[in-house]
Amino acid sequence: MSYPHPNLNLTNPKKGYTHFVVYAEPQIGVAGAAWNATISIEGNTPYVREWLSGLQRCEPNPLHTMLVDNQEIPTLFHPCVDEDTNSPSAVAGVGCICRRTWCDPTFGLPVVGRHHRTRSGDFDRWTYTTYAPLDLRPDDVLACVVIDRGNLFWARTTTDMLVFLPQLGKRGYNAGPFAGDGGAAAFAAYLQQLIDTEGQDTAAHHHRYDDPDPRILAWVRSTAAAESPELTLKDLKAIQRG
C-alpha cells in the first residue's frame, strides 16, 4: 500500500513509496511537514523503548532542522555533556540541554532528542520528536494497532516491526475518556477504515470516514482504549459489533 494524495501523483511503485513532503513558506522562514503528523514522545513505555532501540544515530540533516525552532538549529550540532563537558549545551559541566539526532531507518524519517539534565542531576530526561509516516511500506502487513497509554499510536506488522501508526498532521489521534472530539473521531475513522478494508488500506487519508461508526467512537473514548491494548483486525471487528 502506498500513500495516495488526491491532487498529486507521487507514487511510482517501481521506485518505492512516498512518505514525506516538505511544506515551506520561505518569506517567513518556515519549513516542515506538509501532511505527516508531528509526534512528541515524552513517556518511557516498553513500546517507546523498543522503537528507540531501532533508531540509527546520525549527523543532523535538513530534515532534523524542521523539528526544532530556527534559533535552536545550531544546538543540533552541540555534543551532550556526557561527550564533552565544555559543550555549549553543557550546564556547569554536569547539567545538559543538548539535542541529539537519529534516523528512523524504516521510513528514513528524522528523530530529534531533547536532553534535560539539571545541574544537581536530580532531573535527567530525554524526550523525542519525529514525524508519523503516511502509510506503511508497500510490502508491510498490519498485524495489530497499539494504543500506548492513550496518546501514542503504533502499528505492529506481521514481521514484528513496530512503527508509528500512519497519521496526518491535521487529523491527530486521541483515545481514552479525556480524548478531544477531533482526535477521537480521527482515530475511530482510521480504525473503521482498517475494518472496512480488511486491514489492506493503512494509509492516513485526507477525506474519508468523517462519520465513524458510533460504536467504534464510543470505544475509542472509553477507559479500555487508554489501557494500552493491542488490537488485531479481529478485535476491531468485535468492537464494531458491540
Region binding Zn ion by CB under 5 A among candidate stretches 49-57, 88-96, 131-139, 164-172: 88-96
Asked if 90 touches Zn ion (CB under 5 A), the answer is no
C-beta closer to Zn ion: residue 84 or 196: 84
Pairing of strands 124-131, 109-117: antiparallel
Instruction: Tell me the closest approach of the beta carbon of residue 120 to Zn ion, in angstroms.
Output: 15
Asked if 115 touches Zn ion (CB under 5 A), the answer is yes
CA-based angle 50:53:56, to the nearest 5?
140
C-alpha cell of residue 129:
520528536
Asked if 80 touches Zn ion (CB under 5 A), the answer is yes
Site string for Zn ion, 191-220 (x = CB under 5 A): ------------------------------
C-beta closer to Zn ion: residue 115 or 156: 115
Count, residues near Zn ion per rule CB under 5 A: 4
Q: Which stretches does DSSP call E strand in the chain? A: 22-25, 30-33, 38-41, 56-57, 90-91, 95-96, 99-104, 109-117, 124-131, 142-148, 152-157, 162-164, 230-231
Region binding Zn ion by CB under 5 A among candidate stretches 114-122, 167-175, 180-188, 231-239: 114-122
Region binding Zn ion by CB under 5 A among candidate stretches 53-61, 76-84, 166-174, 206-214: 76-84
Count other C-beta atoms under 10 Å from residue 230's C-beta. 14
* Contacts for 120 with CB less than 8 Å, ≥ 6 apart: 95
How many Å apart are CA 94 and CA 44, to the nearest integer?
A: 23
Asked if 67 touches Zn ion (CB under 5 A), the answer is no
**Which residues are at the interface with Zn ion (CB under 5 A)?**
80, 96, 98, 115
